[in-house]
Structure formats: structure tokens, C-alpha cells
Amino acid sequence: MLQQSAGSNQKRHGLAAAEARQLCERVLKFSRAENARVNVSSGITGSTRTAANRVTTSGITDDITVQITSAFGKRAASTDTNRLDDASLERAVRQSEELARISPENPEYLPEFGPQTYTAVDGYYDSTGNLTTESRAQAATLGIKAANAARAVASGYIEVQAGSVAIATSKGLFGHFYRTGTSSTLTVRTSDGLSSGWAGAQAADWKNVDSERIADDAVRKCQEWRGKTALEPGKYLAVLEPVAAGMLIGLLRGAFDARSADEGRSFFSKPGGGNRISEKLFDSRVTLVSDPAEKNAEAAPFNNGGLPIGREVWVQNGELKALAYSRFWAQKQSVAPRSAPNNLKMSGGDASLEEMIKSVNRGILITRFFYIRSTNPRTIAYTGVTRDGTFLIENGRVTRPVNNFRFNQSITEMLSNIQALGRPMRVAGEDGTVGAGLIVPPILVRDFNLTSVSDAV
Amino acid sequence: MRDREKTNAIGRREFVRLAGLASAGVAVTPAGGLEPLLALQQSSAPGPDAGEKELVLRAIDAAKSAGAAYADARITRLTSEFVSTREQQLTGVNRGERYGIGIRALVGGSWGFAATRDLTNDAVTRTAREAVAIGAANDKVNPVKTPLAPVKKVADGRWITPHEVDPFTVSAEQKADLLFKTNASALRVKGVQFVSSSVSSVKESKLLATTDGSLIQQTFLRMLANVDVTAVSGDNSDSQTRNASIPPMGRGWEYVVGLDMPESASRWAEEAVLKLSAPKVEPGLWDLVLHPSHLWLTIHESIGHSTELDRARGYEANYAGTTFVGPPEKALNNLRFGKELMNVNGNRTEPGALATVGWDDEAVPGRSWRIIDKGLFVNYQTTRELVGWISDLTHDRESHGCAYAEGWWAIPFPRMPNVSLMPNSKDVSEEEVIAETKHGIFIEGDGSYSIDQQRYNFQFGGQAFWEIKDGKRFRMLRDVAYQSRTLDFWNSMALVGGQKTYALGGTFSDGKGQPSQSSSVSHGCPVALFRNINVLRTA
């Protein structure tokens, strides 16, 4: 299943367009349904994990998943399989048809798409796709060496994904998208367990992951946070480093939904009925855009049902410009369907993190968060804790490391309390696995609500 | 209120059925009353498929010839089905199957892992060699030692989840029908606008071969039903959801039928409506009476995760975190978790619980052991790689059997067993526990949950909150969350209910590791009373 990629002697992981099309045609040939769709996902996931200054686990998995959706009238069902021989594929098609026939009618069902025009996007970087176990081990060893030199302990994770997704329908639709992704994260702790620092990066292109910078930053954070001092909880002016900001901003992706707003159960519901599109809801500097062609954070130009995805502006200068509409809801509301965002980019300003800190009279610097969970969907409020480097800023300087905190904070309120934005960058996620691209700036925010102390290191 | 009493009665009937299978909830000793049951299941459990057996043996042979000191191979076939509805519409029917082989090899002291969906002789051999090559590459860059604890060889192990009805013999139509009836019942309650519901069924066949000579075929069944009822205020300015918090179980379709969801749905609906007009909680110190449908999650986060030995060793530092329960030489037999009434077992044996197995992913038999004894921390959760680290302190030479991989594509690593809080030996009822507080909140169902990376500071919400005034349930409250520190919280536990209040709660999706893997786990507990806990208002 390996394929030469254009302009390169290296082979790409995952099915090439022609191979995917052939597989989809084999599946659709078995179909007897009025409407049928095939979604194919293929490729590899490779990983290297370190802890206690050693490699603890490392591996590679290759898989191909075929999902078949069959419909008769408004009765629809789907099956997934990873068996690709004719007999297994036919069995999976028959099974989806049998499930569909005995399923109740779905009044919201809409027939599959015919051919669509998708933005041409190639999200596959050979630097990532061709990364070897040895290269990952060497990158991981940089973290171990840096920690050893500082008499500290490294725990890290490097993940690589490379492959493709494809879609085809019995109405003649076909789409294919190649992508790679990599995430490298590192936690360095002192051997007495009293301090911890973290650094990381996420990218489509491995060349954008600077393993030495990650090793140095994690060690430096760990050293700077050593000797944490007590600080009371309260509402603070806070500098959120890009990864911390990203953990909160990324939560909005699922919230931009028209139906739940129109149904009166979302922050974006308008009292009395309807939704709040075209209302100014946030600070004027808040602009949120998704774009499949975003460099180093490319995303599929179609969703699972084949709906084309282009560049979408969700919030512009604080004003809600759009919400996602499923095909059914769009038809019902007589608007164009729009897929929920995959990647997301928040615009920023020119300030560097250092300049941002300089502007703070008294505030908190937050490296990253952990265990973020919803407490109130109406205000998009969440709780979670800070970790791996929390500091007090006084008179424009970081003056001392302080204890971690639990926060209880509405994201929408935070977007109204913005004081400054820095330069956006693609950030790693909480669990260190490769996710959809999230590009965010460091954020200086007023009244960030730290509600209790966390003793954790 | 009437509906609620009925539901309780059903809950108890269910419990008695569970308890009838074995001594659920009582301190199950390692050689407890389960062996006759296991023997019975083993005799009727399916054995390995001949073709799969040949492949797993080929895999470990290939790994050994390529230089592995130890290797294991797992062929798993994970069949899952998800039927979901909202109001009277079907929103999805999906059936999935993931089938393949994962091979783990120890080279020098380094692990290598490779997995493929391609179950041909050549691909399996190639994948085994790749696992060895990955282990070798890592061992070259970073040579280490990895001793494994001894384990008895199991030449022909067989196990299957005890069940009456295989959920895959029940049609999607029947499942949707039950969900529609549930939704209709909720929608009959005035003020309810939306209901979504679903049933997930999982069947996992797992064949394990190890270079120690074990060959084990196990089949696991898991069921999860979910219902969310939403009421929206007249002007759309507020909406409240009551999630049913139905415990998932390692059982068959008979479990879901026995829940009588259409009957219970009217109570969930009434509570969703009640939430809209309920008074907001007054923040401050309250006594809490926590129902098992809520307390299981607090146990999971604060005891389950804090007593994982890999966390104490720093293996999860980069994501899930470490633990305050350490280092072992200081914590074991020394750390006071709670008062004398607190006893906690780790087990992979409790009937109906999701982490119950015949053997773990390293061929270690399912066991039960004490983690907290009369309030004192006495043992961790271990695997073959980890147990040697504390053997001199606990005198345990063998693994507790906590190795688990979510499927063929994933590396086995230490995962949580069922971790359960033992009930009172006296027959203390829910009403008697409630009667012990003058100013309290009775919490049902799991809501929002968050805890820090060393498991000190946590905050939990719930689904239904009832003010207790002078020993009696008084009225519903809303927007309740409590925040505490693990040791403060467990040391404030003042009373636990008896075995009749004991029930299992659990999840299909406990995330841990990098890459993050999901595991299914249950926690049994009685209703319990906690004194003077800090309560927040979330809206």
C-alpha cells in the first residue's frame, strides 16, 4: 500500500488517490442501496515515549478503516471494517444494508452528494512521513540528555501520523486528502519531584519541530519554577502562554453550532428565539478563522458527509459571523450548510511574550493547563488546573514561582476581558497526541478566575 | 417522587441479581468465592480459532528468533455497535469491526511494539521483526534493564463475560425501539423539549500468546446506555440537562432491558424541569451524602489514579501526571487516606464490573487485593514490569494483573483495575445516612469532574442535588460543585452505607497514556457521608 509521491523518491504512507478510488469502487460495486457512501482512512501512527530518563515504549501501527453508509429511503446505517478482501467488504456492505432496512426512518436523512468541487490541499510533508524510529529515538534522547545534564528527569512523547482520508458516494462523489502530523512534548522534573517544567510543539511538518528548543525550554521552566511560593487564589491579570491559551480557545470549536443555538440551549442562543449571528459578543481584537489550506496546519477540504469546507470566518473583530449548520438544519432554516471548524486560528498582535510580561504591573504567568472540563455550557465555562510553570509577575518582571491553581472561568467572558494579544503559533494539545491544527497567540487577560490552590507539581 | 421510589426498587432488584453471582462488594480475597464460577465459565467459554492460534504462535516465534528476550502477541477483534436517537428520530446506527495483531517484544531492556491489520503469515512475521527492530533501536540509543515478575504458564486459558443475551443477537430496531419509548416517556413531562439517548454494545475477542508458553482466549461483553433530557426555559434564556448516569456494565443485553429506562425517564425528565426553577446553592461548607451513581467517579479520580504504581514512578509525568501517593517506601503502610471505616479493594474479579477478566494482557490471572485497609494505604496497582519495585515493601512477588491494551493496535501498559470502596458491615440504609446530617446535600449522578496531575485538588459536579435539612431530603438545588483535597476529603468520610446501598458505577472511556488509550473500568461503593466540604456555585 505504499505509493510514490509527486516530486519525491520517498513513498507516502496511506492510500494514494487512485488506490483509494479503486477501493471505494470495489465497495460500491457490492452496494444495492439507494444511497451509499464510503469513507476510508489509512496510514500509520508511530510513537516514542520516554520517562525516568529512558525510552519506555515505542511502536508503529498501520491500519485502514473503511466505513460504509447505506440508505433505503430515509432508513440509513453504517458499518466499519478493516478487512479489505472482497468477501469481507461484501459482508460489511450487506451488513450496513441489513441494519439500514431494519432501522426506523430518520426524517432528517438527506441523500448523498454527487460530485463536488474541493479546494486542492496537500497536507503531507515527507519530513514527517519519512521519520524513522531511530530519528524519533535521537530526538527523544535530546530531552533525556538535557535533563541528565541538569540532574533532572525527562518524560516525553513524540508522535507521528501519516496517511490519507478519502470519500466516495454511489452518486459519483470522490474526494481525497493526504496529511501528516507530529507532536513532541516534554516534561522535565527535578529528581526530588518538587519542580516541573514543560515544553512542546505540534506541526504538520517535522522541520517545524525544534527538539533542542523543546529540551532547553522544558529544563529552563523546571529550573525557574523551583522553590514555588504560596500565593492566594483570586482574580488575576494573567499572561496565558500560547499552549495555555490554545487549551481554552480550542474548546470553542464544538460550540459554534447553529442548531443548539436555535434550540435555545447554547451561549449563542438569542433570548426570545434564534441565534446571535451578527452580534458583537467579544473584544474587538478577537477574530477566529478556520481554513483547510492553513500552512503547517492543513485540514481536509470536506467533512465526513462530503460537504465542502473552505475558509470560514467565525468571529471577526468580536462579532459572531457564522455558526455551523448541518445539511438538515440549513435546509430547515433556508441557509447554506456549513461544516463545523476543523483547524482554528485566532488572530493576534505583534507583542512577544516578553513584551507582554513587561506591560504587567501585577499578574500571573501560566505555562499550561490540565484536566479542563465544562461546568456551564450556557456561558462556556470550564474548570481545570495550571501546571508545569506558574509565576507571579510584578512591575513587568517575573519575580517568583508560585503554587498551581484551579480555575473556574467562562471562555466567553475571557474573550471580552482581553488586554493584549501576541504572535500566534501552532500549539500542542493536552495529551500530546496529534490533533487538528490550533493556532493561537499568547493572551493577556483581565480577571482570570483562579479559585483554589493546587498543591500538585 | 413516586417514580423515584419505583426506580430505587428496581435498582435494588438489579443489585441483588448482581450480588447473587458472587459476593459482590464484600472483601473478595485473592482466593475468594469466585473460583467455582470461573471454572464454570471457562468450561463453556470458546477456545481459540485455529488460524488465529497459528498466527500468534508464529508472531512470538518470529520475535524470539529475531532476538527478543520476551514477546507477546495479541489478536483482537473488537466489534462495536452504536444506536443513537433524539426525540423520535434515529440519529445513527453504526456497527464497526477492528481486527488485527499487536506484537510486543523486549530486546535487551527496551520494548518495541508493532501492529498490523494484515493477518497474513508474511505480514505477521514482518511485523514481529519490526517490533524487535524498534526495541533494538531504542536499546542501542538508551540501554536499560527491565526485569519481569514471574507468572505461571496458562497453556489453554478460556474466559467469557457472564451474560444471558449477546447484544449482537438483538436487532438495531429493537434497540432503537427501547430508546424511542424512553424518549417518549421523557417528552410527556411538561417543560421537556429535547431528549437524546443511545446504546453502545461492545464484544471483544482477545487471543494472547506469550513466549512464557501461555495461550489465552477471552471474550468480553460490555454495555452502555445513555440518556440526556433537556428542559429549556420559556424565553430561551436558560436550559438544564439531566443525564441519567446509567452505569455501564460488563454484561449482556439483559442488563439494559432490566434497567426499565422508559419507566425511569419520567423521573429524569421531572428533575430536568425542576432544575430550571430550583434555587441556586449557597456556597460554603456543607455535609455531602454521595450516592454510588456519583461517588464512583470521585473514587476513580482520587483513589484509582493516585494508587497506580507507574504514576508513582514517573512514567505518566508528561500527561496524566504523577501522584501524591509516593515514594512507595514512605507511603506504603504509612499514609493515612481516611478513617478506620475506609476499606478499598483493587480487583479484576468483581462480577459485572468492566475491568473484570480471566487474565490480563500479560497472562496474569485476575486477582483482588487490599489497597486501603482501615484507612491506611497498603498497596499499589502493579504489572509484571512494576511489581519488583515494591516487592520488598509489600511481599508481593507477582503482578496484580493490571496490564491492558485497548486493542490490537495499542501497547499494553498499566491500567486501573476495578477499585471499590467496601460497604459497612452493618446494614445501614440510605435514609439512615441522610438522617445523620442537619445541613447537607445529597448528590446523584456524575457531572463535571476535574483533578490535578498529582491528585490533590479536585472539583466535582453532579446531576441532581437535593438539600438535606435536619436529616431529611428537602428540596432540589442547582449549580452545585464541590472542591476539596483528596486526603482532607477521605478523612472527612463519617459514615458508609451497608451492602444494600452498594452499587457499581463506571466508564467506557478512562483515558491514559501516550498515545492516549481508553479503558473500561468500574467502581463499586455504598452511599457515604462526608462532613464540611467546600461547595461552589457554578452559575
Residues of chain A positioned with their CB less than 8 A from the CB of B537: none
- The predicted model gives A426-446 an average pLDDT of 96
Q: How far apart are CA B182 and CA B177, in angstroms?
A: 9
Nearest CA to B418 among B479, B357, B468, B354?
B354
Residue type, A1: M
Where exactly are the structural domains of chain A?
Answer: 2-218, 228-457
Contact (Cβ atoms closer than 8 angstroms) between residue A405 and residue A386: yes
Nearest CA to B402 among B353, B358, B366?
B366
Backbone angles phi, psi at A215, to 5 degrees: -60, -45
Helix (H) / strand (E) containing B348? none
CA A430 distance to own-chain centroid: 10
CA B28 distance to own-chain centroid: 18
Q: How far apart are CA B239 and CA B284, in angstroms?
A: 25
Q: Do A406 and B115 touch (CB under 8 A)?
A: no
pLDDT at site B7: 32
Q: How far apart are CA B327 and CA A129, in angstroms?
A: 40
Q: How far apart are CA A351 and CA A357, in angstroms?
A: 10
Q: How far apart are CA B366 and CA B356, in angstroms?
A: 7
Q: Do B176 and A157 touch (CB under 8 A)?
A: no
Contact (Cβ atoms closer than 8 angstroms) between residue B219 and residue B230: no
Residues of chain A positioned with their CB less than 8 A from the CB of B131: 59
Contact (Cβ atoms closer than 8 angstroms) between residue B117 and residue B99: yes
Q: Do B98 and A432 touch (CB under 8 A)?
A: no
Q: CB neighbours of A322 closer than 8 A, spacing ≥ 6?
A: A256, A277, A312, A313, A314, A338
Which of B404, B450, B463, B465 to mutate: most A Cβ within 10 Å?
B450
Facing residue for B452 by CB, picked from A155, A193, A385: A385
Contact (Cβ atoms closer than 8 angstroms) between residue A106 and residue B91: yes
Facing residue for B461 by CB, picked from A99, A375, A430: A375
Which grid coordinates belong to A181? Answer: 502530523
pLDDT at site B138: 87
Q: How far apart are CA A404 and CA A367, in angstroms?
A: 10
Residues of chain B positioned with their CB less than 8 A from the CB of A456: 321, 324, 452-457
Q: Do A456 and B452 touch (CB under 8 A)?
A: yes
Q: How far apart are CA B313 and CA B328, in angstroms?
A: 9
Helix and strand element counts for chain B (H, E): 13, 22
pLDDT at site B42: 56
Q: Do A63 and B141 touch (CB under 8 A)?
A: no
Q: How far is B229 from chain A (nearest CA, A)?
A: 12
CA–CA distance from B528 to each of B305, B412, B448, B467, B502 (Å)? 20, 35, 20, 15, 10
Pick the residue from chain A with its C-alpha nearest to B537: A375
3-class DSSP assignment, residue B237 = coil
Q: How far apart are CA B288 and CA B492, in angstroms?
A: 10
Which grid coordinates belong to B79? Answer: 466489534
Facing residue for A133 by CB, picked from B134, B449, B483: B134
Identify the DSSP state of B387. G
3-class DSSP assignment, residue A262 = helix
Q: Do A433 and B516 touch (CB under 8 A)?
A: yes
- Quickly list H helices, A30-125: 86-102
Residues of chain B positioned with their CB less than 8 A from the CB of A139: none
DSSP states of B2-24: HHHHHHHHHHHHHHHHHHHHS-T
Q: How far apart are CA B171 and CA B200, in angstroms?
A: 13
3-class DSSP assignment, residue A191 = coil
pLDDT digits (tens, 9 = 90+) for A119-169: 999 999 999 999 999 999 999 999 999 999 999 999 999 999 999 999 999
Per-residue pLDDT 10s for chain B (539 aa) are: 233 333 333 333 333 333 333 333 333 333 334 445 555 555 689 999 999 999 999 999 999 999 999 999 999 999 999 999 999 999 999 999 999 999 999 999 999 999 999 999 999 999 999 999 999 998 988 888 999 999 999 999 999 999 999 999 999 999 999 999 999 999 999 999 999 999 999 999 999 999 999 999 999 999 999 999 999 998 888 999 999 999 999 999 999 999 999 999 999 999 999 999 999 999 999 999 999 999 999 999 999 999 999 999 999 999 999 999 999 999 999 999 999 999 999 999 999 999 999 999 999 999 999 999 999 999 999 999 999 999 999 999 999 999 999 999 999 999 999 999 999 999 999 999 999 999 999 999 999 999 999 999 999 999 999 999 999 999 999 999 999 999 999 999 999 999 999 999 999 999 999 999 999 999 999 999 999 999 999 99
Which of A63, A268, A276, A407 to mutate: most B Cβ within 10 Å?
A63
Pick the residue from chain A with its C-alpha nearest to B90: A106
Q: Burial level of A68, CB count in 10 A (0-12/13-18/19+)?
A: buried
Facing residue for A102 by CB, picked from B130, B172, B322: B172
Provide the β-strand partners of residue B481. B536
The side-by-side arrangement of strands in the sheet containing B368-373 is: B376-377, B368-373, B344-347, B418-421
Facing residue for A144 by CB, picked from B112, B142, B485: B142
Q: Burial level of A333, CB count in 10 A (0-12/13-18/19+)?
A: middle
Q: How far apart are CA B371 and CA B369, in angstroms?
A: 6
Q: Which residue has the cell 450480588?
A: B19
Q: CB neighbours of B279 closer than 8 A, spacing ≥ 6?
A: B475, B477, B478
pLDDT digits (tens, 9 = 90+) for A176-195: 999 999 999 999 999 999 99
Which of B514, B534, B538 to mutate: most A Cβ within 10 Å?
B514
Pick the residue from chain B with its C-alpha nearest to A387: B453
Pick the residue from chain B with its C-alpha nearest to A60: B114
Backbone angles phi, psi at B278, to 5 degrees: -65, 145
Residue type, B227: V
Q: CB neighbours of B144 closer than 8 A, spacing ≥ 6?
A: A54, A55, B108, B109, B110
Q: How far apart are CA B382 and CA B140, in angstroms?
A: 27
**Length of chain A in terms of residues written:** 457
Residues of chain A positioned with their CB less than 8 A from the CB of B454: 455-457
pLDDT at site B282: 98
Which grid coordinates belong to A455? Answer: 498543591
Burial A290-328, CB ≥16 within 10 A → b, else e = bbbbbebbbbbbbbebbbbbeebebbbebbbbbbbbbbb
User: How does residue A264 score in pLDDT terms, banded at 50, 70 and 90?
Assistant: very high
Q: CB neighbours of A132 closer than 8 A, spacing ≥ 6?
A: none
Q: How far apart are CA A196 and CA A406, in angstroms?
A: 17
Which grid coordinates belong to A404? Answer: 498551581
pLDDT at site B6: 32
Q: How far apart are CA B416 and CA B69, in angstroms?
A: 27
Q: Please, what is the angle between helix B261-277 and helix B172-187, to 10°? A: 40
Residue-averaged pLDDT of chain A: 95
CATH of domain A2-218: 3.30.2290.10
CA–CA distance from A450 to each of A403, B31, B302 (Å)? 11, 49, 21
Q: Do A76 and B93 touch (CB under 8 A)?
A: yes
pLDDT at site B174: 94
3-class DSSP assignment, residue A412 = helix
User: How does residue A60 score in pLDDT terms, banded at 50, 70 and 90?
Assistant: very high
- The pTM for the full model equals 0.93
pLDDT at site A9: 52
Nearest CA to B521 among B385, B347, B323?
B347
**Maximum Cα interatomic distance, chain B, rounded to a whole number of Å:** 72
Pick the residue from chain B with its C-alpha nearest to A47: B515
pLDDT at site A343: 97
Residues of chain B positioned with their CB less than 8 A from the CB of A379: 539
